[in-house]
Structure 1
Amino acid sequence: MHNTIFSSLFFAFLVGSSAMVGAAPAVTPPVPATVVVPVFSNEQVGNVNLNTADVETLKRDLSGVGAAKAMAIVNYRDNHGPFASVDELLQVNGIGKSLLEKNRNKLSVH
């Protein structure tokens, strides 16, 4: 008889304990914030790479550059090899200092 009562109490204790554990709120560990580290170099890093951009990209992404100037940039690159610096863009026929400065922050040669 004592065994039956003891077993019943023990079972009730286990059921009650597991219900309490199941009712505990879930704790989610904090997620670390993403840190963006800027890249510094001699060239301003932009989203238009003069060495890989096609005519459509140049026309679309650069201010004051239409089909003729975009084609001139691509032709210059094809004839002279990759641009060594953004400033070399001044060697392209039809590209002046003001146009270069207007777009400098968008350009790269990486």
Structure 2
Amino acid sequence: MTQWTRGIVAAMLLGLLLGLSSMAALAQEVAPINVNTADAELLTELPGVGPSRAEAIIEYREANGPFESADDLVNVSGIGASTVEGLQDQVEF
């Protein structure tokens, strides 16, 4: 491999690493979503929550009052323990 090729490969790897590190920083800066006040559109930003689950969350909280913890979400139709586990750090009450 020529020195020129090594330089290009090194520059590409450096760019990739810098891009990945800035993506990780962005992921850490995302504020948790309040499931007691969020609308359906905002709720769909949560992993594992699509439009139908978002509506189910809203219907459940309107019928039963506010959620007190992430564990309460298992009471919503279509949301299981594994989904709740993935939401722990991304929701607030």
Aligned to 2:42: 57
User: Once the 2 structures are TM-superposed, how far is the Cα of residue 80 of structure 1 from its aligned partner?
Assistant: 0.4
Structure 1 residues 72-101: Cα deviation after superposition (integer angstroms, max 9, x where no partner) = 000000000111222101100100011111
Runs of 4+ residues deviating >4 angstroms? none
Structure 1 gap ranges (5+): 1-45
Q: Which has a greater percent of helix? A: 2
- Supply the distance in 2 between the matched residues of 1:101 and 1:79 (Cα, whole angstroms): 24
Query: How far apart in 2 are the matches of 1:73 and 1:54?
Result: 10
Letter in 2 for 1:85: S
Once the two structures are superposed, the pairs formed by residues 32-71 of structure 1 within 5 Å of their partners are: 47-60=32-45, 62-71=46-55
Measure how far apart 1:105 and its partner are. Answer: 0.5
CA contact (8 A) 2:40 2:55 kept: yes
Is 1:73 matched with 2:73? no
- Output the CA distance in 1 between the equivalents of 2:34 and 2:68: 11
Match of residue 24 from structure 2: none
Aligned alpha-carbon RMSD (Å): 1.0
Percent of aligned pairs with the same amino acid = 44
TM-score (ref. length: structure 1): 0.55
Unaligned runs of 5+ in 2: 1-30
Q: TM-score, normalised by structure 2?
A: 0.64
Determine if the alignment matches structure 1 residue 104 to structure 2 residue 50: no
- Larger Rg: 1 or 2? 1
CA distance in 2, matches of 1:84, 1:100: 13
